[in-house]
Amino acid sequence: MLENLTAQPADKILALMAAYKADPRNEKVDLGVGVYKDASGNTPVMRAVKEAERRILADQSSKAYTGLAGDPAFGKAMRDLVLGDAVPSERIAAVATPGGTGAIRQSLELIRLAAPNATVWLSNPTWPNHPSILKYLGMKMAKYTYFDNATREVDFDGMLTDLRKVAEGDVVLLHGCCHNPTGANLTYDQMSQVIGILQEKRAVPLIDIAYQGFGDGLNDDAQITRLIARSFENCLIAASCSKNFGIYRERTGILMAVAKDADQQALTQQTLAFLNRQNYSFPPDHGARVVSTILTDPALRADWEAELEETRNGMLALRQQLADELKRLTNSDRFDFIAHHRGMFSRIGATPQQVEEMRDKHGIYMVGDSRINVAGLNAETVPVLARAIVAAGV
């Protein structure tokens, strides 16, 4: 049997990580992997997470299963965090998942059950796992224009033109905030125009929100997701806790489905539980319990929000420092977009050859499409990156 296997395509980011580790140079800079790092290059455990875990370990009396949908307290806490009061709770079905990736996978499984002929539309570019999972599942997909590599901003006219080609019943995947990999986001007014087209086409939105709190703040980062959710009878929302709670290895995510009414919600909830059972049975609980403990305790939540704000403001400061340094070196404002982008990532517009040159000559490791992880920088490495960008002729 096993002799019939063929090698699968290597994950480019994981391959980049391996190359970085093998590089003997001391002055190398890792801007590839999508993990938050502090100024010392560490991915710290947040203060509130440590305290929540201490309480859980002290009080927990059982490791029994929580249920196919996960702990109900986690589902409620995440509904409140992401959606607020945008949609009545009786319209929302939800299941805990192994990370945001698990939520995306389960959303696509649900689409395949409910609308097997639907085409799933993805922004060009998007997170590589989106098309990879769709291809593996054998589902139809298409791309809509999103990023202008010349201006390094959203190509909004091109986006609207492509979305007018969406057919009734198709699914359109949208990033809730902090677009990965570009860092370029739609404004609230632009999203309102997108919603108008999708309503006219009777399409269904699928929102991937993995970086809430990393862009303009917890509440502001949720506004577009909330606008979409209250504008449609049906939409799907895949949310991750990996970044904003810093619990990457705990694999904590949630899939929420907004239904038309309570009857449709009940059927959807049953179906989501069925899908969990088929794929991994009961979802992991530790990370979810950490999240619900923090979100339901006023003191822990306040401390978590304060540390999250420190993280967000630190990334904004690095963005501004890099934009300022590039302006100083080039006497040009063509890199100001870096300060305007939000979240961990920016696509800087370098060619694959320029990316390779920066890696070979300067030890700067970034993904081949020139996506940089801003959180991989610190005050000392920003000038190193800026000099490499200028030397490569970006």
pLDDT tens digits along 36-64: 988 888 999 999 999 999 999 999 999 99
323 has catalytic annotation = no
Residue 77 confidence (pLDDT) above 90: yes
Same domain, 267 and 377: no
- Could you give the percent of the chain with pLDDT greater than 90? 95
Domain boundary among 247, 275, 296: 296
Q: Could you tell me if 114 and 212 lie in one domain?
A: yes
The residue-averaged pLDDT of 215-220 equals 97
The residue from 239, 268, 296 where one domain ends is 296
Give the model's pLDDT for residue 41: 86
pLDDT of res. 14: 83
Residue 181: asked if its preceding bond is cis (omega within 30°), the reply is yes
Say whether pLDDT at 361 is over 90.
Answer: yes
Is 216 within the bounds of a domain?
yes
- The answer as to whether 328 is a domain residue is yes
Note if 210 is an active site residue.
yes
> Are residues 117 and 16 part of one domain?
no
The pLDDT score that the predictor gives to residue 99 is 98
State the pLDDT at residue 9.
83
Domain count for the chain:
2
Least confident of 40-44, 63-67, 125-129, 348-352: 40-44
Residue 34, domain CATH = 3.90.1150.10
Catalytic residue among 69, 96, 103, 210: 210
> Domain boundary at 296, 328, 350, which?
296
| Choice among 37, 118, 238, 243 that is catalytic | 243
58 within domain boundaries: no
- The one catalytic residue among 127, 221, 304, 388: 127
- 98 pLDDT exceeds 90? yes
| CA dist., res. 320 & res. 322, Å (int) | 5
Q: Are 292 and 327 found together in one domain?
A: no
| 2, part of any domain | no
Backbone angles phi, psi at 123, to 5 degrees: -65, 150
Model pLDDT, residue 34 = 86
Residue 369: how many CA atoms within 13 Å on its side-chain side? Answer: 18
Predicted local confidence at residue 39, as pLDDT: 84
Catalytic (active site) residue 243: yes
pLDDT at residue 15 in the model = 86
With b meaning 16 or more CB within 10 Å and e meaning fewer, what string describes 187-196?
A: eeeebeebbe
Phi, psi (deg, nearest 5) at residue 380: -80, -30
Domain range enclosing 176: 65-296
* pLDDT-based confidence at residue 133 (cuts at 50, 70, 90): very high
